[in-house]
Structure 1
């Protein structure tokens, strides 16, 4: 199976090479637009489990891996690494449903892809005889999930950059306490978009390989096609659980409301729909950084705006990289148009899509946003009315779902444990809490007491772990930091 660049100026590659390199040499993202050959009927996964679903999805996209390699990767990723045998349970929240994606080792949805990606990359590197340096930008959750997944994987090093002061205390501690001989972490003075842009520049400068020592650069962000495809699985798995639980009938269309930042999570739902899953609307839920809401409303994507630091920091993004893939698919593979739009975004800070293209996109997507006040109200309402504890990112989707709900069953994608954001969740539920002098762990303990729920052990244990990665650097120092990390790891 061949993967081409969304911008059309790079050679097509097979699935192993697309997984290894992450980003095409022309700066585009790898795609395969032939969804007809990847059709997957729900009947094929009925009576199965998450691993069976994941195999059914991955085997349709990665035919350069053997069935045994894919099965072994899935088993290594999901066996005894999640705190529930369902992996991604679907539960009720009033008349709607929560797709719980936070039961993995780092308590965030990124675990579903980033437990699997290291296994695929390890096998891809073995096929090509390549050593890999993973370079990743994170707005909060990807960093720890990637560090955890790649820890001590032979032949692979990983460097993670996160925006200083723009992740939660727990997210920061998850990264700076990460053990492993092959892991390196730095805070960067700037925001996520600054970091993501520089990571892409590093890839473009190196054209996929590290000039100094012959090490291949790759990515754990959702710009990597393997990570994106891994996320398709849980949309199918959610539908299977609803069907087998008697909540829906076969063929019933289901809406998914997805908290959205870099557009990878909701794009995975779009892929599932194009593969034949009965999805109604994919609802793009944004926080106060509502560049996507404005785009879907007007067709103008404009990053020339103030960056807002919110209580849902993993969504504090103004450049949603995976939207580029949607533009390619919705325009019937018009790589020239996509290249022009991305050039305009890079050079001028905005682009406008043709009305005809916007109409095609709107056929599959709805949209909305919730600022911090609306997010806090959603957390409080979910607790007081539904007795469900949700994190701020899930709360954004919960709030938007209430405003966009139609006739179809609604699944709200729940992306993180509320205990990763204990302070904001607790203050939303009980604004009278005296916050001065309390640490993040104090808030975690109080939230556990209030809710009668236990914080995930991996989060609670952070209070005893030493800081191993104290570095704080400027954006311009990131290239040198990667060079130094490569020398250390290899």
Structure 2
């Protein structure tokens, strides 16, 4: 059965999941959603006995219904092979009385790999018979960029252009992007924040003149951010698989509810948990963990989403976001598919900088979601306590979630903290949190010192960056991003 999608801001035009993946974002600026979400439920007994690959095939077939079984099987086999350092793909491990869902075992050591090793395979099959080249245009707050570059480098018929905020990602994150090889890849730093980059990327997608110029060259734009449904859907799998691991270990019985605490800025990772709940996974609470850019925490407390606030640079930079794009999808389901209402809320956010939910909608949102935030000092303290108390080395984003989870009341359910990045992506901040003075130390000196201190080995794909040549040094203003995309198309599809 085909799965049809339409914009969160209007349902007058439906597309298949393949068409939605190719487009990335709807023509009216909305995000693609399906009214069929929840029509099919997971068989918990079957899920609990499956491998990660089997569960991925089941989830993708359910949510991307116009992909054939053979296409889905091929995509899963290609995405999750020896490019992950464990056959479990996303293992669940203990941390104190709770659990960590380790999402950083892929080629770029971040949770984005789980989806971005899959998306190029989905995109390639969606392109069959289309005849157009696809340029992926993506804004990143740190991890999406490298994961997308690694996924799309060398993919026939595809190019990728990544924008990141200059000076607002970690040294390792910057080097991961700046050293990326491939004739079809472009990496550009922008003067501004991630929100600036993301806003301009959305404008680029809505630029009809640009679309026309690229169409003359048989090229179309798409996205690798979680605004693309092909990025979002693969993330649902690890919630389902985590539950299965807990059942197999005896930590829970099939049917028991489990809470998940998710460090998130763009709301995509936690939204995948909501999708899993709609598929019938026994999810108790979804706890949204923020850093001091706590726009989501405030929203869950007050019902008002207000981006008009000071942007704060933190030690968890991938969450330094004030406009959480994927929240728009949640609003669609929260309002029972009221496209006009969603469009009005998004217009208020764009024009006024804020919108407010009524009390009934806020109560409904709180039935599933809780929120909390951690300061940098609290994040550092959590990194230190996780190591000294539990013997577990965690990165700052995971520490934000663990700090928020530690403060949340226990309600008798098993609790899973999503661990979104390898700590060595943020060696300096992790080392400092463990009490070492990092003054005057570069990123790799901190990496070496952290290994010596903890005995935990840094991944080769990170430690090897010290010898990699920097290939991308371009910096531009926001107004120059459209020109950068056209230049990237010219290079990739010459």
Contact kept, 8 Å, 1:287 with 1:370, in 2: the verdict is: yes
Q: Which residue of 2 aligns with 1:442?
A: 445
Report the Cα distance in structure 2 between the residues aligned to 1:146 and 1:122, rounded to whole angstroms: 14
- Deviations 1:394-431, CA, capped at 9 Å, x for gaps: 0000000011132211100000000000000010011x
User: Which secondary structure state, in structure 1, belongs to the residue aligned with residue 371 of structure 2?
Assistant: strand
Task: Say which of 334, 341, 345 aligns to 1:341.
Answer: 345
Report the Cα distance in structure 1 between the residues aligned to 2:73 and 2:289, rounded to whole angstroms: 34
Alignment partner of 1:108 is 2:110: yes
Return the TM-score normalized by structure 1: 0.98
Q: Which residue of 2 aligns with 1:151?
A: 153
Q: Which residue of 2 aligns with 1:475?
A: 478
Return the TM-score normalized by structure 2: 0.97
Contact kept, 8 Å, 1:137 with 1:199, in 2: the verdict is: yes
Q: Which residue of 1 aligns with 2:163?
A: 161
Report the Cα distance in structure 2 between the residues aligned to 1:19 and 1:338, rounded to whole angstroms: 21
Report the Cα distance in structure 1 between the residues aligned to 2:346 and 2:405, rounded to whole angstroms: 30
Report the Cα distance in structure 2 between the residues aligned to 1:293 and 1:437, rounded to whole angstroms: 35
- Deviations 1:84-131, CA, capped at 9 Å, x for gaps: 110000000011000000000000000000000000001111232221
Q: Which residue of 2 aligns with 1:121?
A: 123
User: Which secondary structure state, in structure 1, belongs to the residue aligned with residue 154 of structure 2?
Assistant: coil
What number of residue pairs does the alignment pair up?
Answer: 488
Q: Which residue of 1 aligns with 2:420?
A: 415
Contact kept, 8 Å, 1:208 with 1:217, in 2: the verdict is: no
Task: Say which of 7, 10, 16 aligns to 1:8.
Answer: 10
Point out where structure 2 has 5 or more consecutive residues left out of the alignment.
none
Task: Say which of 31, 36, 39 aligns to 1:37.
Answer: 39
Misfit runs of 4+, over 6 Å: none
Residues 333 and 9 of structure 1: is their aligned pair in 2 closer, same or farther, counting only changes over 3 Å?
Answer: closer
Contact kept, 8 Å, 2:190 with 2:475, in 1: the verdict is: yes
Alignment partner of 1:362 is 2:366: yes
Contact kept, 8 Å, 1:55 with 1:70, in 2: the verdict is: yes
Task: Say which of 369, 379, 391 aligns to 2:395.
Answer: 391
Contact kept, 8 Å, 2:431 with 2:438, in 1: the verdict is: no
Shifted more, 446-455 versus 388-397: the winner is: 446-455
Contact kept, 8 Å, 2:37 with 2:63, in 1: the verdict is: no
Contact kept, 8 Å, 1:135 with 1:220, in 2: the verdict is: yes
Deviation at 1:451, TM superposition (A): 1.1
- Deviations 1:285-312, CA, capped at 9 Å, x for gaps: 0000000000000000000000000000
Contact kept, 8 Å, 1:38 with 1:61, in 2: the verdict is: no
Alignment partner of 1:254 is 2:258: yes
Q: Which residue of 1 aligns with 2:313?
A: 309
- Deviations 1:232-251, CA, capped at 9 Å, x for gaps: 00000000001011111111
Q: Which residue of 1 aligns with 2:29?
A: 27
Contact kept, 8 Å, 1:101 with 1:414, in 2: the verdict is: yes
Deviation at 1:61, TM superposition (A): 1.4
Report the Cα distance in structure 2 between the residues aligned to 1:389 and 1:478, rounded to whole angstroms: 38
Where do residues 64-213 of structure 1 align in structure 2 (5 Å cutoff)? Answer: 64-206=66-208, 209=211, 211-212=213-214, 213=217
Point out where structure 1 has 5 or more consecutive residues left out of the alignment.
none
Shifted more, 141-150 versus 434-443: the winner is: 434-443
Deviation at 1:181, TM superposition (A): 1.0
Residues 127 and 243 of structure 1: is their aligned pair in 2 closer, same or farther, counting only changes over 3 Å?
Answer: farther
- Deviations 1:364-384, CA, capped at 9 Å, x for gaps: 011100010110111011011
